[in-house]
Amino acid sequence: PRQVVIVVDVIEKSSGSIAAGAGLSSASGFFGTVSYQQQNLGCNNQTLGGEFQLGTRELLFDLSFTDPWIAGDPFRTSYTVNAFRRRSISLVFNGGSGENNIKVPNDDDDGDRPRIVRTGGGVTFRRPLSQDVFKRSEWTASLGLKYQHVAIEDSDGDVRPESTDGELLSFSDSGEDDLTTVQLGAVRDLRNSTTQPTNGSLLRLGMEQSIPIGSGSILMNRLRGSYSFYIPVEFTNFTEGPQALAFNIQGGTILGDLPPYEAFIIGGSNSVRGFAEGDLASGRSYLQATAEYRFPIFSVIGGALFVDAGTDLGSAGSVPGEPGEQRDLPGTGLGYGLGVRVQSPLGPIRVDFGLNTEGDSRLHFGIGEKF
């Protein structure tokens, strides 16, 4: 038979990117940011990312490296190493609505919102639990170790262990805790699609055990579980496209010591919609459920009807300092509404309008489906 030799010249597109910016904020003063992403380091499909923010008052950073398949490993084990210094407003103490927020003393007579500053790093290993490494595995297991130094600060960067009401916001009396944890996880993924599932299920199980060393000597065990399943349906005929009923139930509890800032938070875009972020509950335990009907409207636009419910199972009073009760959070609530999904290269852009059982409403934005 006749043979033809075809030579194709391939030039790999750039897999790296860099960006920079500057700004002014009350927390950091004047600051500059630099971020770098490399999606194919050394042509080995390894990823390297970093973001730095240098301000007149602080230095923040987030670095990570991922190797998707350790060389020579027959089981397709991957690992991620990261280091970070992050500063955030805790939704345990300050909700999205801004009402009844917990404050720390400072030069302002009205007080200041406490900032949670976490500095540390960790490593996580993941492995698919299948004998054939070239086929998609139903089960994936993970093992990780993470260390964090956690400080409660005001906007000036001064450590503030107590609120204006005298409640301790950290676990130790100093306002600074050391939190070292071992993390175990397992995932069983039977979905027909990771971006727009219409059939199958997704199970996530996790356990996080702290090691009582360093400031605070915290001995804590966090347990979490989540189960989602999807049923294909054909209720409407606006246009061709996938339709599904999607359900999720999840819950968790914390055994042993509990730093207040580690409490479970309920309410918001990825929790019970119709409530502001963290404005439904903060507790030692929680239970949450969602039902959604997802349907197409146009080729790249879809819709959703949803009902969310959540509760802290009456555990708000067992969080040290009782931040949920201080903020007069309901503890249990229901949210319902409708939303729009716009397909994009980043995933579905999600816009949801929710009503809640407290008589309030809220508009939520997000990237990707809630589950």
The pLDDT value recorded for residue 26 is: 62
The pLDDT value recorded for residue 3 is: 85
The pLDDT value recorded for residue 299 is: 85
The pLDDT value recorded for residue 27 is: 61
For strand 16-25 and strand 285-296, is the pairing parallel, antiparallel, or unpaired? unpaired
The pLDDT value recorded for residue 1 is: 63
For strand 46-55 and strand 29-41, is the pairing parallel, antiparallel, or unpaired? antiparallel
Query: In the beta sheet, which residues pair with residue 255?
Result: 221
CB 199 within 8 A of CB 244: yes
The pLDDT value recorded for residue 186 is: 98
3-state secondary structure the chain: CCCCCCCCCCCCCCCEEEEEEEEEECCCEEEEEEEEEEEEECCCCEEEEEEEEEECCCEEEEEEEEECCCCCCCCCCEEEEEEEEEEEECCCCCCCCCCCCCCECCCCCCCECCEEEEEEEEEEEEEECCCCCCCCCCEEEEEEEEEEEEEEECCCCCECCECCCCCECCCCCCCEEEEEEEEEEEEEECCCCCCCCCCEEEEEEEEEEEECCCCCCCCEEEEEEEEEEEEECCCCCCCCCCCEEEEEEEEEEEEECCCHHHCEEECCCCCCCCCCCCCCEEECEEEEEEEEEEEECCCCEEEEEEEEEEECCCCHHHCCCCHHHHCCCCCEEEEEEEEEEECCCCCCEEEEEEEECCCCEEEEEEECCCC
Query: What pTM value is reported for the model?
Result: 0.90
b/e burial code for range 32-48 (CB count within 10 A of at least 16 → b): ebeeeebeeeeeeebbb
What's the Cα-to-Cα distance from 263 to each of 75, 212, 321, rounded to whole Å? 36, 18, 11
* pLDDT, one tens digit for every residue, the chain (371 residues): 688 889 988 777 788 899 999 987 766 668 899 999 999 988 888 999 999 998 877 789 999 999 999 988 888 999 999 999 999 999 999 987 777 899 999 876 778 899 999 999 999 999 999 888 778 899 999 999 999 999 999 988 899 999 999 999 999 999 999 999 999 999 999 999 988 899 999 999 999 999 999 999 999 999 999 999 999 999 988 788 899 999 999 999 999 999 999 999 999 999 999 999 999 999 999 999 999 999 999 889 999 999 999 999 999 999 999 999 999 999 999 999 999 999 988 888 999 999 999 999 999 999 989 99
What is the Cβ-side half-sphere exposure of residue 280, based on CA atoms within 13 angstroms?
34
